[in-house]
Amino acid sequence: MHANSLFCSAFGLLIHLSLGSASSEWSYTNNDTKPEKWAENFPHCDGIMQSPVNIVPSDTKLDLNLKPISIQLNGMNLEQQTYAVANNGHSVQVTFPDNLWRVSLRGEAEGDFCAKQLHFHWGSDSSNGSEHIIDGKRYSLEAHLVNYNCKIYRTYSEASTSPYGLAVLGFWGQHMSSVLATVTMFSATGGLENNLGNLKTQTSVNMTAFDLKDLLTLVDPASYYRYAGSLTTPPCTPNVIWTIFTKVVPVSGEQLNLLRSLKFPSTESSTSMENNFRPVQMVSSAKSPLPRTIYRSASRVLLANSFVIVICCLVRSFW
């Protein structure tokens, strides 16, 4: 059973997702509302198919059906657009105009998903910050491009609580002391870096729209891990198709310090916004109706090498 079949089976079990408590109180640092307490107000957080997870490459399964990820501008003039940049109390978030960007997970010409927002997770030092880890290693930062299924659902709100509703692209970032400014995590996000210093707690500013396709130039769009999981923040709904790119993107110390200069709201026990990542969840818990499999795609290099081998074999067969 390959990835698409598993998603259909898994999400089919989630037709009747409960919304849980209406409470919106959660935090990363307060004793009463920290991640270990989220399930008290958001039941899904103690449920099935939770994210993030520890990805062990040797335990993943190759799926040749996984296609390169692509992003397309949805017939609008990008120069006329602006993005909203906010300190939402938990992270810095860039929100895009509705239906501006389409994201393709399956190689289709027009993506099934619409990009909603981009946000980041980071640590108090460069040894931690990412939500997903690989072989137990945590990176300095993780960026999440959150998308909703606009082919099936009319709005993000509807998709966010519905089966097969969300897809998140995850980009790992690692601090490097010497790195070209043109190849860092923020080199593909226009003037975002310049706006971070202006973001007071729970405030928003507008910025000139940047080309979202540039994010894919930082990674190999054909090389990634794929699994069925959840939002990593409340309400933790288990309706997310996760794509984690294998290539790690450089981040400078100055960029990380800009993120750490942001502030949590006064309700948090910690002032500086840092360590805003959820602890790793089990890949397959006792509550899971089906064991989860983490799939890996075939990179362009692997596909190219395979093609060469096939051609060589065909040529030899004629000698």
Q: Give Cβ neighbours of residue 106 (< 8 Å, ≥ 6 apart).
A: 4, 67, 112
Residue 16 pLDDT:
41
Q: How many domains are contained in the chain?
A: 1
Residue 302 pLDDT:
53
Q: Which of 44, 90, 121, 144 is catalytic?
A: 90
208-234 burial, b for 16+ CB within 10 Å, e for fewer?
Answer: ebbebeebbebbbbbbbbbbbbbbbbb
C-alpha 11/C-alpha 47 separation (Å) is: 14
Residue 24 pLDDT:
56
CATH number for the domain including 223? 3.10.200.10
Is the backbone peptide bond immediately before 43 cis, with ω within 30 degrees of 0? no
Query: 175 an active-site residue?
Result: no
pTM of the model: 0.88
What's the first-to-final CA gap in the chain, in angstroms? 38
Residue 316 pLDDT:
52
Q: What is the DSSP letter of 233?
A: S
The pair of structure tokens assigned to 190 is: 């226009």
Residue whose C-alpha is closest to residue 257's, from 278, 271, 273, 277: 273
C-alpha 120/C-alpha 194 separation (Å) is: 16
C-alpha 108/C-alpha 131 separation (Å) is: 29
Is residue 223 within 8 A of residue 77, CB to CB? The reply is: no
Residue 267 pLDDT:
82
Q: Give Cβ neighbours of residue 55 (< 8 Å, ≥ 6 apart).
A: 132, 133, 134, 135, 225, 244, 294
Task: Quote the strand ranges of 65-197, DSSP E.
Answer: 70-73, 82-87, 92-95, 101-104, 113-122, 133-134, 141-149, 166-175
C-alpha 88/C-alpha 94 separation (Å) is: 10
Q: How far is the CA of 118 from the CAs of 93, 157, 186, in angstroms? A: 6, 16, 12
Q: Which domain holds residue 129?
A: 3-317
Task: Identify the three-state secondary structure at position 147.
Answer: strand
Residue 182 pLDDT:
73
pLDDT tens for the chain, 319 residues long, are 454 544 444 444 443 444 433 335 899 999 999 999 999 999 999 999 999 999 999 999 999 999 999 999 998 999 999 999 999 999 999 999 999 999 999 877 778 999 999 999 999 999 999 999 999 999 999 999 999 999 999 999 999 999 999 999 999 999 998 877 778 999 999 989 999 988 999 899 999 999 999 999 999 999 999 999 999 999 999 999 999 999 999 999 999 999 999 999 988 888 899 999 999 999 987 777 788 999 999 985 554 444 334 343 333 544 5
Residue whose C-alpha is closest to residue 200's, from 277, 117, 255, 265: 265
Residue whose C-alpha is closest to residue 135's, from 300, 302, 294: 294
